[in-house]
């Protein structure tokens, strides 16, 4: 869709459009949004035609034909016009401004131009709008669609993919031109954004802010007319279309604010928990210190008591009263166990102590030990002494109880032949088995 200010080979722009703008069906689907504006005004004059300047491949003209709305188009690119002629559209090669100047006053229902405004020098664009106001019937529409530079990706990159583009046109700039030349009202239609972005509950990302704003927008300007004509298109003019950069930016900021709020709440909860843990730790530390002091106090008190006991045991009164305590203890034992049982306990204790003393002497004096055990053997009282020993000493384990067993082997193995030792060991084992050793 170019004019006389730029020329390329016949098929270059057609192939470029097919690759970068979309297929014929894609474009027809996008242009459906304008049909309600046109059909609302067909009541003005059903025979009035729509002129499409820069008609290109003729997608819009096909849509109008499908709705039985008279329409024709002009374009300077023969490669683009070829497709329109093939499908039987009323198209011809002609400069758009020259075409408008050739039309009679108030003769057309609508003038449309899709993706032509960005190709025109600004003074030519002004002239096109001015001539359109003259040519349109009262209440007639001027529709211009162009890339939307509010979309950051479009305004900084994809707009310049087309070498025939002049410069981006901000919506407020394009909207001002028909207002300046006397049109009654205008409407900006932001178009072709992702449908999910129209859902206010959808999650907005930074990429959506940079690339998600409606990539195209359409300007619809209506010429002055009587109120009954103007109100025919009120529903279309009152509707909102597309998403703006401010809208997506605000929604993204709200999302960040909500995330920050959740993070702050989480941090606040964690800080509260940490503070509670810190307080608990301080209480535990205080309790530990208190317990430590209590234990130290108890330990000091115990040491004081122990020292008092030691001092008491070392005191003269404790020593002086020992006979009384002994007599009292013996009297208590007699009352508890009886005279005979207590007598046996006393005799056994005396014998046990005597045997332990004797064993200690034997351990320190081997000669005495050998003499005594040799004498006992000669007197033939070993069995008796052994029986007494078992009943008195050996029955109650003691540090000296194993000593007598060891002493037997020493005493009887000294100065013995090997045969005597063998006989002794046999007898000893037999004796041990007999007594359960």
Query: What would the 3-class secondary structure string for 154-218 be?
Result: HHHCHHHHCCCCCCCCCHHHHHHHHHHCCCCEEEEEEECCCHHHHCCCCCCCHHHHHHCCCCEEE
CATH code (residue 134): 3.40.50.150
Q: Is residue 387 part of a domain?
A: yes
Please give the C-alpha separations between residue 59 and each of 22, 48, 72, 322, 436, in angstroms, as whole numbers.
11, 20, 12, 130, 120
Q: Consecutive sets of 10 residues in the chain, 437 residues long: mean pLDDT of each?
A: 45 57 87 96 90 95 96 92 93 96 96 96 97 97 97 89 89 97 97 89 89 95 96 95 92 89 89 88 88 87 83 79 78 77 75 76 77 80 76 52 44 59 74 59
| pLDDT at site 415 | 54
Same domain, 180 and 51: yes
Domain with 211 in it: 12-243
Same domain, 342 and 238: no
| pLDDT at site 137 | 96
| pLDDT at site 163 | 85
| pLDDT at site 14 | 53
Same domain, 34 and 182: yes
Q: Is residue 383 part of a domain?
A: yes
Q: Is residue 313 part of a domain?
A: no
Same domain, 340 and 239: no
Same domain, 239 and 343: no
Q: How far apart are CA 162 and CA 40, in angstroms?
A: 34
Same domain, 347 and 211: no
Q: Which of 205, 222, 243 is the last residue of a domain?
A: 243
Helix and strand counts by DSSP (H, E) for the chain: 20, 7
Residues 6+ away with beta carbon under 8 Å from 93: 74, 75, 76, 78, 81
Same domain, 343 and 238: no
Q: Is residue 292 part of a domain?
A: no
Q: Which of 197, 213, 243 is the last residue of a domain?
A: 243
142 strand-pairing partners: 111, 221
Q: How far apart are CA 42 and CA 2, in angstroms?
A: 29
Same domain, 221 and 351: no
Q: Is residue 219 part of a domain?
A: yes
Complete edge-to-edge strand list for the sheet that includes strand 136-147: 91-93, 71-75, 49-53, 108-114, 136-147, 216-222, 185-191
| pLDDT at site 175 | 97
And the tokens for 123?
Answer: 């003074």
Same domain, 229 and 98: yes
Query: Using CA atoms in the order 71, 76, 82, 88, what is the torsion angle rounded to 10 degrees?
Result: 20
Query: Domain total for the chain?
Result: 2
Q: Is residue 368 part of a domain?
A: yes
| pLDDT at site 409 | 45
Q: Is residue 323 part of a domain?
A: no
Closest of 171, 185, 178 to residue 246, by C-alpha:
171
Q: Is residue 359 part of a domain?
A: yes
Same domain, 144 and 18: yes
């Amino acid at each position: 869709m170019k004019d006389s200010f730029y020329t390329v080979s016949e098929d270059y722009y057609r192939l470029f459009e097919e690759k970068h703008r979309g297929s014929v069906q894609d474009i027809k689907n996008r242009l459906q949004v304008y049909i309600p504006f046109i059909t609302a005004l067909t009541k003005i004059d059903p025979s009035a035609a729509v002129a499409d300047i820069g008609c290109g491949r003729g997608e819009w003209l096909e849509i109008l034909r499908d709705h039985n709305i008279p329409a024709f188009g002009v374009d300077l690119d023969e490669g683009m016009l070829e497709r329109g002629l093939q499908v039987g559209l009323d198209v011809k090669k002609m400069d758009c401004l020259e075409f408008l100047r050739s039309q009679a006053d108030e003769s057309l229902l609508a003038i449309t131009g899709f993706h032509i405004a960005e190709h025109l020098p600004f003074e030519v664009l002004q002239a096109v709008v001015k001539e359109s106001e003259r040519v349109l019937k009262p209440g007639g529409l001027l529709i211009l669609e162009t890339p939307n530079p509010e979309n950051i990706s479009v305004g900084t990159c994809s707009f310049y993919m087309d070498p025939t583009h002049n410069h981006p046109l901000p919506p407020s700039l394009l909207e001002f031109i028909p207002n300046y030349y006397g049109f009654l009202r205008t409407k900006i239609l932001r178009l072709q954004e992702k449908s999910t972005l129209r859902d206010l509950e959808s999650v907005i990302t930074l990429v959506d802010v940079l690339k998600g704003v409606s990539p195209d927008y359409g300007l619809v300007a209506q010429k002055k007319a009587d109120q009954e004509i103007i109100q025919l298109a009120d529903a279309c003019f009152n509707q909102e279309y597309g998403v703006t950069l401010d809208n997506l930016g605000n929604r993204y900021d709200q999302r960040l604010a909500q995330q920050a709020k959740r993070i702050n709440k989480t941090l606040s909860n964690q800080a509260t928990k940490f503070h509670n843990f810190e307080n608990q730790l301080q209480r535990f530390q205080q309790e530990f210190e208190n317990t430590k002091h209590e234990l130290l106090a108890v330990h000091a008190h115990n040491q004081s008591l122990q020292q008092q006991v030691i001092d008491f045991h070392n005191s003269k009164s404790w020593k002086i009263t020992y006979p009384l305590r002994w007599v009292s203890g013996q009297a208590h034992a007699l009352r508890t166990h009886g005279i005979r049982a207590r007598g046996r306990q006393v005799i056994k204790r005396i014998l046990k102590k005597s045997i332990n003393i004797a064993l200690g002497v034997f351990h320190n004096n081997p000669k005495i030990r050998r003499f005594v055990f040799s004498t006992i053997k000669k007197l033939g009282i070993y069995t008796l002494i052994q029986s007494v020993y078992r009943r008195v000493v050996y029955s109650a384990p003691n540090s000296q109880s194993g000593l007598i067993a060891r002493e037997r082997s020493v005493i009887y193995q000294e100065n013995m032949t090997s045969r005597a030792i063998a006989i002794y060991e046999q007898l000893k084992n037999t004796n041990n088995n007999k007594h359960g050793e």
